[in-house]
Amino acid sequence: MALIPYADEDPQDDRVRTLVARLPEPHINLFAMLANAPALAGPTLRLGEAILTRSDLDPALRELVILHCARLTGTEYEWVQHEAIARLIGVGEEQIGAVDRGEIGEGPFDRRAALALQLVGQLLPGGTPEPELVAQVASELGRAELIEVLIVAGYYAMLGGVMRAVQLDVDSVLEKGMIDRDRLTGDGA
């Protein structure tokens, strides 16, 4: 049970009620929790939508990065959601399992993925990635995708902190019908 009420269960003011009314149905727990902070919920969710639907990152690489963030931060909610999304868009069990075990070397990953995962692994414990690794990732992915990997890692680390602090109850975006495979892979409008 979450430590504080979800906004759709106990809206505290008119701004929260207005935001909850605009949330897509059915409400997933993350959206309903973020709605408790109406000034920041919209911008936070819009960034997440941009990451999931407009990023230049290959969708499989994006999901591997998110899964690695979830693993490194111990965020079960993120892992459950994005493990399902990763499978939906075609990430293989071997890669998902390797991330889950922390085996992010080249094994089942191509060079691009291995480097991106190493970068996230150096960044998220609160560290500064080695300059040589940053240069390798920039060379392999390009500047735009390097920065996107860093933004994705930072965003999901931030969300993970919120999820863990309030002990967000795990629900399923797939079971609630909130996932559009075509939008997540760039095949939709």
Per residue in 72-131, pLDDT (tens digit) is 999 999 999 999 999 999 999 999 999 999 999 868 999 999 999 999 999 998 899 999
What are φ and ψ of residue 131, in 5° steps?
-55, -35
Nearest to residue 102, comparing CAs of 119, 116, 121?
121
Q: 49 in a domain, yes or no?
A: no
**Cα dist. 11→8, 20, 23, 39 in Å?**
6, 8, 13, 14
- Give the whole-angstrom CA distance, residue 146 versus residue 152: 10
Sign of CA dihedral 80, 117, 91, 139: positive
Q: 42 in a domain, yes or no?
A: no
Task: Retrieve residue 36's tokens.
Answer: 């408790």
Confidence of residue 8 (pLDDT cuts 50, 70, 90): confident
For residue 189, what pLDDT is reported?
47
Q: 112 in a domain, yes or no?
A: yes
Q: Which amino acid is it at 155?
A: Y
- Give the whole-angstrom CA distance, residue 113 versus residue 118: 8
Confidence of residue 13 (pLDDT cuts 50, 70, 90): confident
Q: 83 in a domain, yes or no?
A: yes
Q: 84 in a domain, yes or no?
A: yes
The helix/strand/coil state of 80 is helix
Per-residue burial over 139-168, b = 16 or more CB atoms within 10 Å of its CB, e = otherwise: ebbeeebbebbbebbebbbebbebbeebeb
Q: 125 in a domain, yes or no?
A: yes
pLDDT tens for residues 26-50? 778 999 999 999 999 999 999 999 9
Domain encompassing residue 138: 57-185
- The domain spanning residue 152 has which CATH number? 1.20.1290.10
Run of H or E residues at 113:
helix 111-123
